[in-house]
Structure 1
Amino acid sequence: MGRTPTRLRLAAAGAAVLTASVLLAPTAPAAAAPTAPAAWNCNDGSFCVYSGSNGTGSVCAWSGDDPDWNNGTSRCSWSPRTRVRSAYNHGLSGASVSAYTAVDLGGTKVFCLRQGGRTNLPGSGTFLRSHTWSC
């Protein structure tokens, strides 16, 4: 009775080796979580609008005037159905940017944003349709 059967000793030894292997094995680095685009992402020289507050969400950008965001030279695909919630004048010329609720700089002038200026639009945002690099 004092002797442990060979099979049991081998099983215990195998379990010990397996445990040691698992504990000493190098672990693979954790996969990095995907990063969200940086807030206020806007190319130098551009005027950018965002579907989210604080420069987040979908973005549309222009380097010149656009009298019709839906049918102009640079179309903002989400603006017909989504309100603009924030804007950034990342222009280089020193010019301010004015944005309007209707095409051809019509409707209500919502803001005049100086160079380097960022803004959140009140409430749930505003439907914008045109802009110009002047106030």
Structure 2
Amino acid sequence: MPLAMLFSVALAAPSAQAEAPDAQAAAVGAAYDTETGQALAAWDCNTGNVCFWNGFGGTGGRCMWDVADADWTAGTYKCSWATTKEVKSVYNRGTSSNFKGVRFYRNTGYNNSIGCTKQGQKGDLAGTYQVRSHQWVTTSCG
């Protein structure tokens, strides 16, 4: 996708309808915040957070945390698509000197580890599983 297309999509105003951002993102490969519906540039993730998307390349619906979450559907921050869509990309923008990575899990309560992303790293995942919890870890990933 041409870089100019990503920028033009990122500047689009969010729709007032709750389902419009999802349809818009799917149509053009854009990213959007699942809580606000705000259009985002690909890989847009606030410093100090970990972000997960249901599209490859940091696109689709984004869920973002600055803390660990033992259950993506019942924690302080809820990920609306956690039980219906697969995680396809992740970006660890953590900045703590105490935590070197974010480990993510197939099940709630930090059970059934399926991956870990080092601080400052981003990338696409296999996209064949749902993630239900994650935690910051003091050991380096891989």
Q: TM-score, normalised by structure 2?
A: 0.67
Which of 107, 112, 122 is the aligned partner of 1:102?
107
Instruction: State percent identity of aligned pairs.
Output: 38
Residue 18 of structure 1 corresponds to none
The one-letter code sitting in structure 2 at the alignment partner of 1:100 is: Y
- What is the alpha-carbon distance in structure 2 between the residues aligned to residue 125 and residue 58 of structure 1? 16
Which of 119, 128, 131 is the aligned partner of 1:115?
119
Residue 4 of structure 1 corresponds to none
- What is the alpha-carbon distance in structure 1 between the residues aligned to residue 42 and residue 109 of structure 2? 29
The alignment status of 1:41 with 2:78, answered yes or no, reads: no
Shift of 1:35: 1.6
- The answer on whether the counterparts of 1:86 and 1:125 sit within 8 Å (CA) in structure 2 is no
Residue 71 of structure 1 corresponds to 74
- What is the alpha-carbon distance in structure 1 between the residues aligned to residue 9 and residue 117 of structure 2? 29
SS at match of 2:103: strand
- What is the alpha-carbon distance in structure 2 between the residues aligned to residue 125 and residue 50 of structure 1? 13
Larger Rg: 1
The one-letter code sitting in structure 2 at the alignment partner of 1:116 is: G
Question: Hey, which bits of structure 1, 4+ residues long, moved more than 6 A?
Answer: none
Measured on the aligned residues, the alpha-carbon RMSD in Å equals 1.5
SS at match of 2:109: helix
The one-letter code sitting in structure 2 at the alignment partner of 1:112 is: C
Aligned residues: 101
SS at match of 1:35: helix
Residue 24 of structure 1 corresponds to none
In the alignment, structure 1 segments of 5+ residues that lack a partner are 1-32
Q: TM-score, normalised by structure 1?
A: 0.70
The structure with the greater share of residues assigned to strand is 2
Shift of 1:119: 2.1
